[in-house]
């Protein structure tokens, strides 16, 4: 079945540091890929998405590129802020069979940014 | 635009008791999902509705969990009887449709503690 693997956390950075959170997936066909973010005390919200190979999703300074050849969707930001402290989830929406349209999530990565 | 509403936000019960959660999706969204998120893990899909019909309930423990979506709008998820391992956050999400590329919008969740 479909699966998503995120880098082990937590991640602790200083403000203005570069961020990378690795995400790889296993799925049949061409799934859509998402990054969701959960700020403290809030619900999950979509950060960015990509629906086909080589697409780049971007939002709030975050970027991720859909790499079919490496089955990856790594999240990056050039300069993090304290307000980026949150839990980040990589997810895919299945493209085949019984997994069609269903979200499969990674385990989440806790990011803490210090001033 | 109003988001996905859930209630209650928190619930504490003893094992073997019953509990029910309520969800009101975004107006016009035909697809509704219930997820279980155990601490430190990503959300796991329990059940998916399209209008008032069940699309997928393969991950729902049907001996104790039940869900319904009357009139294709609100939904309730029930657990009876609860077990200690049911302690988790229960998330409701909705989307316009269940195509692979559709964004799912999440509610704030209900945190259940089973003692």
Rounded Cα gap, residues A13 and A111, in angstroms:
8
Interacting residues of A12 by C-beta distance below 8 A, sequence separation 6+: A111, A112, A113, A114
Inter-chain residue contact A101 with B58, CB threshold 8 Å: no
Residue A78 burial (10 A CB sphere; 0-12, 13-18, 19+): exposed
Indicate the pLDDT class of residue B1, thresholds 50, 70 and 90: low
Residues of B engaging A, defined by a Cβ cutoff of 8 Å = 3-4, 31, 33, 40-45, 48, 56, 58, 91, 93, 97-109
Rounded Cα gap, residues B6 and A59, in angstroms:
27
The chain A residue lying nearest B56, using CA atoms, is: A98
B97 vs A112 pLDDT, higher one: A112
Q: Cβ contacts (< 8 Å) between B107 and chain A: which residues?
A: 43
Indicate the pLDDT class of residue A40, thresholds 50, 70 and 90: confident
Indicate the pLDDT class of residue B97, thresholds 50, 70 and 90: confident
Q: Would you state the pLDDT for residue B2? A: 83
Calculate ∠ Cα B111-B35-B95, nearest 5°: 120
Interface of A with B in 33-62 (CB under 8 A): 34, 36, 42-46, 49, 51
Least confident range from A4-18, A28-42, A95-109: namely A95-109
Inter-chain residue contact B43 with A93, CB threshold 8 Å: no
Of residues A45, A51, A98, nearest to B101 (C-beta) = A51
With residue B106 as reference, give the H or E element that holds it. strand B105-106
């Amino acid at each position: 079945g479909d699966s998503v693997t995120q880098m082990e956390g937590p991640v602790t950075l200083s403000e203005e540091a570069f961020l990378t959170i690795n995400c790889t997936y296993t799925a049949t066909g061409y799934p859509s890929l998402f990054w969701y973010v959960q700020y403290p005390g809030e619900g999950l919200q979509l950060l960015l998405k990509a629906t086909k190979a080589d697409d780049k999703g971007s939002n709030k300074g975050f970027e991720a590129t859909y790499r079919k050849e490496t089955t990856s969707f790594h999240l990056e930001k050039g300069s993090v802020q304290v307000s980026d402290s949150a839990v980040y989830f990589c997810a895919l929406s299945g493209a085949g069979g019984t997994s069609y349209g269903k979200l499969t999530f990674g385990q989440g990565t806790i990011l803490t940014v210090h001033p | 635009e109003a988001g996905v509403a859930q209630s209650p936000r928190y619930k504490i019960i003893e094992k073997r008791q019953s509990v029910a959660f309520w969800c009101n999706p975004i107006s016009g969204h035909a697809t509704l999902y219930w997820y279980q998120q155990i601490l430190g893990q990503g959300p796991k899909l329990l059940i998916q509705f399209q209008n008032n019909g069940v699309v997928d309930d393969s991950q729902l423990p049907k001996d104790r969990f039940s869900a319904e979506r009357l009139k294709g709008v609100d939904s309730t998820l029930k657990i009876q009887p609860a077990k200690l391992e049911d302690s988790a956050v229960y998330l409701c999400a909705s989307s316009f449709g269940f195509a692979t590329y559709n964004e799912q919008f999440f509610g704030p969740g209900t945190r259940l503690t089973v003692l």
